[in-house]
Structures are given as C-alpha cells and as structure tokens.
Amino acid sequence: MHFQWYPGHMTKAKRMMQENMKLIDLVIELVDARVPVSSRNPDLDELGKNKARLILLNKSDLAEERMNDVWAAYFKEKGYSVVKLNAKKGGGIKSIQGVIQEACKEKIERDRKRGILNRPVRAMVVGIPNVGKSTFINALAGKACAKTGNKPGVTKGKQWIRLNKNVELLDTPGILWPKFEDQTVGLRLAWIGSIKDEILNTEELAAELTGFLVNSYPDVLKEKYEIEESADGFENLRGIAESRHCLVKGNELDTEKAAKLLLDDFRNGRLGRITLETPENN
C-alpha cells in the first residue's frame, strides 16, 4: 500500500512552530490514545527541547483503559507529564490546570528566584491533524475565555487565550504531520482515519484490520458480525458482507461496502475500546 506525503506543508508548519516555540514555556502535545507513538512526530522532541512537556492521551474513550494506563506510565517514565483525556466529552480537562502548574514548576521557581511573580505560563497545543487539538482548546478555554490582543514586542501578531491568571494558551495549535514512511505506522494511522481514505485501497485496509483484530482482540469480529474469524482478511470481509447483507447486483457480496462498514464501526468505537499499539510492538 502506498501513502502520500506533503513536504511543502510540513516545512512551512515546522518553521512556524519553531518561531512559536520561542514564545512559550510548555508544549502540550496531543496524541491519539489508540496509537500513542504512531501519532507522534519525532521532530517535536528536537523542536521542543528545553521546554516543559505535557502529553495528552486524547480519545482515551476509544482506547482500552488498561492500555491507557500502560501508555501513561510509559511516557511518565520518559519524563513527560501525562493526562488521559476525552476532549470531546471533557473527561480529564479539570485536572489540566493543576498538571500545567506541576509541569512548569521549575520555570515558576526560576521566576520566583529572580523576583518575577505571577508571570503566567505560556503554552502551545500541538499534534497531528484530527487528533483533537481544536476540540481540546475549546474544552479547556470554555465559554468564558478572553482572547488577549497582540502584545507589542513580546507576542507580535499572536493571539493568546488567557485561561486564568496563571496560564495563557497560544490561540492556534501547531500542526505536525505524522511520519508514515514506516508501513505499520501508515496502516495504523489509516485505520484511525488520519489518512484520507480516497488515497487508500479500502478493502485492503479493512482486510488488514481484521487480521490485527483476530490476533489481538479475538472474538470481537465474531461477536459483532456473527462470523467465523479467519486468518484470511478477505474471508472476514466476505463474512461481514454476508451477515450484513452487503450485496451488489446479482446477489454478489459487496466487500467494498463491508470494508467501509467495518472501518466506520472501528473508528466510532462500535467494536469496543481498542488500542492498536503497545510499548513492545510499536
């Protein structure tokens, strides 16, 4: 399978992020809890070095809870602050303010020693497209958010959202593109819907997904679609097409329709909470 790649956008977005990094104390990085490593862009560690770091495991409602804890421990071990989040429903949002203060305590202490009191922490939200950045900013800022104007000299041309007296958030999130030269990473990102389906072979993608599910989440397909699970992904698609009456003229099985149905069910959590990678298999 072949994945497309947009170096032009990436270069521009990266340059802008480099500029924004100079203005902030804390990088708030959203990752998708179903693919916490594949949904990260490794460039961020370089771009955000010397900054306090907070990782949000977003869409945690779609990932397996046990694995959310495993991943949270994994990133904490590496020195990041971590929060499990459901930006859509607001789960985890309340704890964010406290975690931000904790993540930036060294900076706050440095300020205090220099006699600077009450300078708010400045933060920027970053992540790959569709990971939930806008949803998160809206949930965190809420209705009461006041956008601060341009501050000459310091934040020229930038809009900041003042969350409270302690935290200001850069209005526009930083977009990072995932690195999907690696086919496994590409597959996982396609399964969660991060890569446009039009550029992919839907049936192949869905057949591969059934392969993963049969191995890692046995009986999920069996229970959902009442099929016999097979090691052959296309056989699973035929089974789904049959049980869901996906037919084309002449009563032929419409495996393309079955593939779309499966991907849609998976992406919307209708197959249950599923995590696609573990610290061992990424």
Binding site for ligand G4P (CB under 6 A): 58-59, 61-62, 85-88, 127, 129-135
Query: Taking the complex as a whole, how short is the minimal distance between the CB of residue 62 and ligand G4P, in angstroms?
Result: 5
Q: Can you tell me which residue has the tokens 């694995």?
A: 67
Is the Cβ of residue 48 or residue 127 nearer to ligand G4P in the bound state?
127
Identify which of residues 61 and 254 has a Cβ nearer to ligand G4P in the complex: 61
DSSP codes, 1-13: ------HHHHHHH
Report in angstroms how near the CB of residue 127 gets to ligand G4P at its nearest: 6
Please report how close the Cβ of residue 185 comes to ligand G4P at its closest, in angstroms. 18
Q: Please say which residue, 132 or 186, places its beta carbon nearer to ligand G4P.
A: 132
**CA R_g for the chain:** 21
Least distance to ligand G4P, CB of residue 19, Å: 20
Distance of alpha carbon 36 from alpha carbon 48, whole angstroms: 18
Residue closer to ligand G4P by CB (options 133, 158) is 133
**Least Å from the CB of residue 118 to ligand G4P:** 31
Burial readout 96-107 (b: 16 or more C-beta within 10 A, e: otherwise): beebbeebbeeb
Report which of 116, 137, 110, 135 is spatially closest to residue 125, judged by C-alpha positions: 137
- Is residue 260 within 8 Å of residue 245, measured between CB atoms? no
State both tokens at 127.
């992540």
Nearer to ligand G4P among residue 135 and residue 255 (C-beta): 135
